[in-house]
Amino acid sequence: MRYALLLTLGTILSVGAFAAVAQTPSTPVASPAPTAAKYDPTKPYPAYTAPRLKIGQPDLQGTWSNSTLTPMTRRPDVKDRLVYTEDEVRKLEQAMVDEIEEGNAPTAKDAPAEYVPPANLKPEYAAGGGAVGGYNRFWLDPGNLVMRVNGEPRTSLFTTPSGSSPPRKAGAQPAPAPEPPAFMKLLGPSPTPKGGAFDNPESRSSERCITSFGRNGGPPMFGNGFYNNNYQIVQSPDAVVIVTEMVHDARIVRLNAKHRTDDVRPYFGDSIGWWDGDTLVVETTNIPQSQQFMGAWKTLKVTERFKRVADDRLYYGFKVEDPSLWDAPWGGEYEFHALGAPLYEYACHEGNYALHGVLEGARVQEARDTAAEAAKAAAAKPAAKPGKPKPKH
């Protein structure tokens, strides 16, 4: 059973003119799905034809999830194998069952005040919870099953021979750290590095739920390894919208359109799309530096393919191209599984009221650091030698 944790309540709101033409899941726009045996994800794809919307497009609408135990890049112990053995799959999935059971067990009455992570808790989860155990197992939904594509249990979402990004071209330079916003030049000198986490409200976008965590929003899109790896797809004659639960991002794919010709780089880039039979092809350029992928952004082009292969499965493939970094395109693939539940708004409250204190505290610390440096510099100066007494007149 796949667990989908929905951590907050709210609703997804349609915005702008798109709402007038979007066909939401509550609208009877699709023809009945073809009668077929329930899809077994451990077997190759069955013969399947996606139902059509009244506008003639294959129906990709609904809520989907890409949560999985399979990592984006292959673990070293798997070496160069794209596919797990079924015995390896059983062990991995059983380990997740054991982790969930241990994490959900009641806290012992004589447990110490200091939080002690469970023995099977992954290091990244323990770090996320900190000393108070804020991210105990109840809140986590990274995925309970190994990712399968056409029945094959995959060792990584990347499909390169090594399961990682290919070597860069000789002399190629990956993207540097993202540039801070231009307005920060007006803030004056500060011991805090410009663009640092405590420098200004704009540098705390994740905490304030401005953009997706990790690469949920893409492109390409991946689960974040923690929770809320859920999406909603909405179609209209002129656009397809991919809504990401975390963090309420909506990527608008303009159909049968052309890329913008300026160098404006909106969040998630500039996406255009077209139908290739039953497959939706999405091409994205103009990706901002802050959302670089594996060091690529300025000349990066990502091509994604979405195809419904069963009532409850959506195939997703992606190709990455950047001639400044790699000699040839490369990519990966996986499957979305049907979420079976509505998408709720993901909202953050961590920094809503504390933001003023977070930033002010950093300024106080900067002032203390500046004073300490000044005192240190003064102490390092040699003492002034006493001069000769001035003659009396």
Which is it for the CA torsion 289, 292, 297, 301, positive or negative? negative
Distance, in Å, from the CA atom of 121 to the CA atom of 148, rounded to the nearest integer, reads: 24
Assess whether pLDDT exceeds 70 at residue 166.
yes
pLDDT tens digits, one per residue of 328-368: 999 999 999 999 999 988 877 666 677 888 888 888 888 99
Assess whether pLDDT exceeds 80 at residue 44.
yes
36 vs 127 pLDDT, higher one: 127
- Whether omega for the bond prior to residue 34 falls within 30 degrees of 0, making it cis, is no
Domain spans in the chain, listed from the N-terminal domain onward: 48-69+146-166+174-371, 85-145
In this prediction, residue 300 has a pLDDT band, given cuts at 50, 70 and 90, of: very high
| CB-based burial, 68-92: b 16+ in 10 Å, e otherwise | bbbbbbbeeeeeeebbbeeeebeeb
**What rounded mean pLDDT belongs to the chain?**
81
What letter represents residue 352's amino acid?
Answer: N
Can you name the residues that pair with 320 across neighbouring β-strands?
Answer: 302, 330
pLDDT tens digits, one per residue of 234-279: 999 999 999 999 888 899 999 999 999 999 999 999 999 999 999 9
Instruction: Look at residue 120 in the predicted model and tell me its pLDDT.
Output: 66
In the numeric block, the tokens 């105990």 are attached to 136
Assess whether pLDDT exceeds 60 at residue 294.
yes
Q: Among 15-29, 49-63, 92-106, 220-234, where is mean pLDDT lowest?
A: 15-29
In this prediction, residue 172 has a pLDDT band, given cuts at 50, 70 and 90, of: confident
225 vs 132 pLDDT, higher one: 225
307 vs 114 pLDDT, higher one: 307
In this prediction, residue 125 has a pLDDT band, given cuts at 50, 70 and 90, of: low
Instruction: Look at residue 353 in the predicted model and tell me its pLDDT.
Output: 73
In this prediction, residue 145 has a pLDDT band, given cuts at 50, 70 and 90, of: very high
Q: Among 63-72, 184-193, 263-272, where is mean pLDDT lowest?
A: 184-193
187 CB-near residues (< 8 Å, 6+ apart): 194, 199, 200
What's the pTM value of the predicted model, to 2 decimals? Answer: 0.77
